[in-house]
Structure 1
Amino acid sequence: MIIDKSIKWDKVYDVVVLGFGGAGASAARFAADNGAKVLLVDKAPEGHEGGNTRYSGQNVGYTPDPQKFRTYYKALAQGFHIDEDVEDTVINGLANMKEYFSKYLEVEPFVFGEHPDDNPLSHTADNQTTATHPEFPDSSASELMTVHNGMFDSALWTVLRERVLDRMDDIDVWYDSPAVHIIQTLDKTVVGVQIKRKDKVRNIGARNGVVLSTGGFSNSKIKIQDFIGEHHLAPVGTLYNTGDGIDLALEAGARLWHMTTYNSAGIVGDLTLPVKEGERSVFQPADIDAKEMYTGSIFAVGDDGTRYCREDIFSIEGWFYNHGQWRTPQAPIKPYVVFDQKQYERLAKIDHVPYQRALKNFLISANSVAELAAKIDVKPETLTSTIDTFNSYAESGNDLDFHRAAATLERFDTSDTIYALPMVQSVAQTHGGPKRNGKAEIMDPFNNAIPHLYGAGELGSNIVRIYQGGENLADCLIFGKVAGENAAKAKHDKDALFENGNDAATGASVKADPDLASDLKKKYTFELGKNQYLGVSSAGMGNDIVVRVTVDDNQNLKNIEVLQESESEDYGKRAIKALPKIMVEKNTYDVDAISGASSSSRAMKEAVKQALDSAKEKNK
């Protein structure tokens, strides 16, 4: 959107950051630390911001040997082009990641390699290494770290969000406020953003810079088709990554890169269990242990009813070895896992919520191969041939098509009920977006920096080809810092556009429109009656869980009210609903976690404990 001097600003900031995930949180705090008044916006409602950072494994890349890691980094690119200045920024950032954690995140990093017998990967079935590809040269230089000894618990996201909250005097946050246009002058300098805020499109000025950190496009079927070339992929992360940043970048005249690169996460050819439309697909570490999905009388079929993958091999961060190269998985439009009655009985015993839900809501059963073939829309003779061939491999112990391990093959029995479970091809994260340089400046098609426009995180990340675990979160931290610092630098070339109605001391306009106020709250103001106490925890998958606990005169638990929470619909809500009743019945916060909702359960217990501790302190 091109403007001239006649534009009317609704509000003006020094820096506007689009996207409140790991990259956006980092960019906003570093811009604020460098003297900028910042607006940080996200299209998601409060409690659902965080992007894929919230749902990720929480592990961040690090290298103790940057020179060796450079060799490994080039091997991951598989001969694809790497921009040298971007490579330098990445490797320097990885080399200094331990200091980053202690100095900026204010936590001491848990480095996996320093705890070889007690880290999240050492407990996996195959004792994975910190290097995604240990066979590549100098892979030993690749390390991982977390903010504590744990994964998949939003711990890093919680820390990043807290660093923003620590700076709420300098950072305004707007939830549920998507950016709709980049505002530029005739010479393409970015001077602001149009943002839809409470049903009104607002012109928000940015004196020094705009940071694009809106995440990828994993939940945009059209962009998946246009850029990756697959029919559809089911996101296992946030549902709010719909590629808005790509549209904004193109509007600003940006060059795109890495558009076909993505990584998946799942089982059996990187498939995930089916979910209802509008829900995110789910992949958790427990899925890896569900050997019933690939051991026994069970196999996966593609759109024509034939097997298309080796079911007992997991991808390496979404990539499979294929005749000398590493490639993303085949992605059938309608994949199924097919199994017989005895295998169904094994699957039904898996004590993991997604499997229970899938078998209850999506399972297809039939009394014959022909009937099942009709229900999954494949030719009966094809499915019959697939079963016959599978049985011959099970009997010989030799899978001639895909070399599945003999111990995982068992004859398929068609004399009883047979089943098909629809699956979905997954996507964990996409890496394409606007090209950036080592200064986090977004580039135009001729490799010139677009003035005042910066990028960080999954949107146009540094990942060229094969994904190394922890590298995307590292990109969020590294380029978030670089983008925030550079965006905050004072730029006076467009000062005339911002002369009217602004407070030069604070960097933000002083209009008193309540719709333009920050959504961040300084404290909770819930009413408390007799024997009532407030408890707060940020240990869940969402934002703060706030509870009001009522006790009797002897401090026995009488009632627990959840006043605020934003836990995930798939698992977290179950804990929020079930635990208060259980705690009151047992008169203690220390109860068993709800299956599949360990983080939400932990947060509920922590919040109730805090309230009970307050009660004890008051009644000493």
Structure 2
Amino acid sequence: MRNALIKIAPDYDVVVLGGGAGGMSAAVFAALEGARVLLVERTEYLGGTSAFSAATTWIPLTRHAKTVGADDSLEKVSGFLDRAVGNLSPKRMRDAFLAAGPGVVDTLEDRTDVHLRPRPFHPDYLYELEGATSIGRALEPEPFEASSLGEDLKLIRPPIPEFTILGGMMIDRDDIAHLMKIGKSLKSTTYSLRLIGRFYLSKMRYGRDSRLLMGNALIGRMLKTARKLGVTILTETETVAFASDTNGVTGITLRQKGFERQVAVRGGVVLASGGFARHPGMREEKLPHPVPQFSPSAPGHTGTLHELAFGIGAYHGETSKQPCFWAPVSCRRRQDGSMAVFPHFVFDRSKPGIISVGKDGRRFVNESTSYHLFVSAMYAANEGDSHIPTYLIADAEALKKYGMGMIRPGGADIKSYLADGYLTEGKTLDELAAKLDINAAGLKDSVARINAYAKTGVDKDFARGTTVYEKANGDPTHGPNPTLGALETAPYYAVRLLPGDIGSAVGLVADENARLLRRDSSVIGGLYACGNDLQSIMGGVYPGPGITIGPAIVFGAIAARHAARRASSAAREQAA
């Protein structure tokens, strides 16, 4: 068996529990320090929710920032975070992140297969705050041809099917621009045909797409490096106990296919399991009600490691503005019976001709705000289930041009979406309201108001489309406001939106070295956390794109380096 526990060593310098971006970072950086590393993943795939994501990575002040002309500084970004987050998280943790981030990126670029690039335009979400910027802080992984991984390619969690085409072909924003011009541009047609041909060859050869993009590319690159550095990797393996003494954690007990084994740990254990959000009890306790039924995140973050950590004195933070990071989602049953949970990030809510309303038929939020703030507004407005669900409303022209949720732009056949209830159609607003069981007068008034605002470009109700971030998510060819358009062309359509959690903001409290703490501020030796297992340094606020993955990678590196050096120190003491 590839993962048989009998093949692992009896002891390691550093053990990492979880194979998402934070865990992979910890494994790589510990190995770079010369440590003997074991990475344990409880599911069958590596990558966690990071593999599902665009893998945007918010790490300010890197060498990439200068390549796109960013005028940034430690003073600017620190001030921006102070204004965005304030006392919702310790400033010392944000300072540690900002201090370490550029060096972490340098090491990845210079010593591993991980390569990042900046987008020429990628604004912070809270652009209205002083110190925000539109370039240089958000990075993304470069595409990765992963055929060199061989069988390891099958270890990477596949992307969400609804974010692929042709049964699994990954595409990014650059590909979309060409695919939309097939038959209209020779260059785009040639590009697209090569892309599609390569995908089918890859699928025949490897059973899946080997051209990895976004989150898959990040995890693929990290996996290739981990293998080169000799990291031992186990999947489908559960951690069931910690061993500890007066100095802290000294080992773990692993279970795989009913077989258990104890592993000694010299330097430390890094928790990188993705947080608590699939733990039924913690979910009920910490999330607002009604507790979200659906999440587009990966299935591994059960919170069981948090229970083990509680047993030796660790505790959850209590200052986060929100317990999770949010995105509105729509749901549809797939042909195989599984549930597709689609996160509505930016592709539809901010487009002209699309609004959102509650049961009263009225708008309640600036639709072009961030996905996190959108769901926060759903909960804030929800009284008697008045805004959960929320309804995304579009006219025929907007639906055809921009799509909505799982319905792609370009005039896709919508019959199946109507048949299964994912999409609701009304020949008039009254008919649509009746089918949705929402207030028709409120809906008609909302549409009349937005139609008037579309002419002036000024949303007098919610100031939609006023910041650089908001305008960026609209239609640049539409004016006077790229996010405001009239709903005038019947029939009218709706998609039902529910709150969805995309990652925990509440996590285990640690110090600047990612060492877990007890309530008396004493350190739990040999126990670290990163990613969503760590109390968010953003305090449940979402200041910009990639503010989960960026800190996950950086604190994974911080934890790994400290644990590896702790192992070296222990080895020297033992030798002496």
TM-score tier after normalising by the smaller chain length: 0.5 to 0.7
- Residue 318, structure 1, aligned to residue 372, structure 2: yes
Q: CA deviation at 1:172?
A: 1.7
1:480-491 superposed matches below 5 A = 480-489=556-565
| Partner of residue 496 from structure 2, selected from 422, 441, 445 | 422
Q: Aligned equivalents of 2:351 and 2:115: distance in 1? A: 40
Q: Aligned equivalents of 1:183 and 1:138: distance in 2? A: 45
Q: Structure 2: which 5+ runs fail to align?
A: 1-7, 63-72, 144-171, 173-212, 466-479
Higher helix share: 2
- Residue 243, structure 1, aligned to residue 303, structure 2: yes
* 8 Å Cα contact 2:248-2:526 kept in structure 1: yes
Q: CA deviation at 1:90?
A: 1.0
| Letter in structure 2 aligned against 1:391 | A
Cα deviation code 1:235-279 (max 9, x no counterpart): 3442333434433332332121255546757xxxx5344233854
* 8 Å Cα contact 1:19-1:214 kept in structure 2: yes
- Residue 475, structure 1, aligned to residue 551, structure 2: yes
* 8 Å Cα contact 1:56-1:152 kept in structure 2: yes
- Residue 182, structure 1, aligned to residue 258, structure 2: no
| Partner of residue 76 from structure 1, selected from 80, 84, 93 | 84
Q: CA deviation at 1:294?
A: 4.6
- Residue 441, structure 1, aligned to residue 515, structure 2: yes
Match of 1:52, SS? helix
Query: Which position in structure 2 is the counterpart of 1:145?
Result: 139
Q: CA deviation at 1:139?
A: 4.0
- Residue 453, structure 1, aligned to residue 527, structure 2: yes
* 8 Å Cα contact 2:89-2:320 kept in structure 1: no
Q: CA deviation at 1:173?
A: 1.1
* 8 Å Cα contact 2:271-2:529 kept in structure 1: yes
| Letter in structure 2 aligned against 1:299 | I
* 8 Å Cα contact 2:267-2:567 kept in structure 1: yes
The TM-score, its normalising length taken from structure 2, stands at: 0.65
Q: Aligned equivalents of 1:450 and 1:178: distance in 2? A: 22
| Letter in structure 1 aligned against 2:274 | G
Q: Aligned equivalents of 1:204 and 1:41: distance in 2? A: 12
| Partner of residue 268 from structure 2, selected from 209, 228, 250 | 209
- Residue 66, structure 1, aligned to residue 74, structure 2: yes
| Partner of residue 300 from structure 1, selected from 338, 356, 374 | 356
**Larger C-alpha radius of gyration, 1 or 2?**
1
| Letter in structure 2 aligned against 1:49 | G
Assess, with a 3 A threshold, how the Cα gap between structure 1 residues 349 and 13 changes in structure 2: closer, same or farther: closer
Assess, with a 3 A threshold, how the Cα gap between structure 1 residues 355 and 214 changes in structure 2: closer, same or farther: farther
Q: Aligned equivalents of 2:409 and 2:256: distance in 1? A: 45
Query: Higher relative contact order by CA 8 Å / sep ≥ 6: 1 or 2?
Result: 2
Q: CA deviation at 1:281?
A: 3.1
Bigger mean CA offset, 22-31 vs 275-284: 275-284
Q: CA deviation at 1:20?
A: 1.0
Cα deviation code 1:91-138 (max 9, x no counterpart): 21124245223333356653x3xxxxxxx353xxxxx43x44454444
- Residue 463, structure 1, aligned to residue 538, structure 2: yes
1:324-473 superposed matches below 5 A = 332-339=387-394, 347=403, 350-351=409-410, 358=417, 361=420, 362-365=422-425, 375-378=435-438, 382-391=439-448, 394=451, 401-402=461-462, 408-410=484-486, 419-460=493-534, 461-464=536-539, 465-473=541-549
Q: CA deviation at 1:488?
A: 2.6
| Partner of residue 254 from structure 2, selected from 195, 211, 214 | 195
Q: Aligned equivalents of 2:389 and 2:434: distance in 1? A: 14
| Letter in structure 1 aligned against 2:238 | P
* 8 Å Cα contact 2:363-2:446 kept in structure 1: no
Query: Which position in structure 1 is the counterpart of 2:11?
Result: 12
* 8 Å Cα contact 2:12-2:266 kept in structure 1: yes
Q: CA deviation at 1:43?
A: 1.6
Q: CA deviation at 1:459?
A: 1.9
Q: CA deviation at 1:154?
A: 3.0
Q: Structure 1: which 5+ runs fail to align?
A: 1-8, 113-119, 123-127, 496-503, 506-620
Assess, with a 3 A threshold, how the Cα gap between structure 1 residues 56 and 343 changes in structure 2: closer, same or farther: closer
* 8 Å Cα contact 2:59-2:137 kept in structure 1: yes
Q: Aligned equivalents of 1:447 and 1:489: distance in 2? A: 22
- Residue 91, structure 1, aligned to residue 98, structure 2: yes
1:586-601 superposed matches below 5 A = none
| Letter in structure 2 aligned against 1:198 | K
Q: CA deviation at 1:480?
A: 1.5
* 8 Å Cα contact 2:97-2:554 kept in structure 1: yes
* 8 Å Cα contact 2:81-2:543 kept in structure 1: no
Query: Which position in structure 1 is the counterpart of 2:226?
Result: 164
- Residue 39, structure 1, aligned to residue 38, structure 2: yes
Cα deviation code 1:57-76 (max 9, x no counterpart): 34341316334433233223
| Letter in structure 1 aligned against 2:306 | I
Q: Aligned equivalents of 2:278 and 2:506: distance in 1? A: 13
* 8 Å Cα contact 1:299-1:337 kept in structure 2: yes
Q: Aligned equivalents of 1:73 and 1:252: distance in 2? A: 32
| Letter in structure 1 aligned against 2:217 | A
| Letter in structure 2 aligned against 1:307 | R
Q: CA deviation at 1:494?
A: 10
Match of 1:333, SS? coil
Q: CA deviation at 1:55?
A: 2.1
Assess, with a 3 A threshold, how the Cα gap between structure 1 residues 369 and 134 changes in structure 2: closer, same or farther: closer
Percent of paired sites with the same residue: 20
Q: CA deviation at 1:45?
A: 0.5
Q: Aligned equivalents of 2:363 and 2:129: distance in 1? A: 30
Cα deviation code 1:297-338 (max 9, x no counterpart): x53232454432233x232x734699xxx9998674322224
The TM-score, its normalising length taken from structure 1, stands at: 0.61
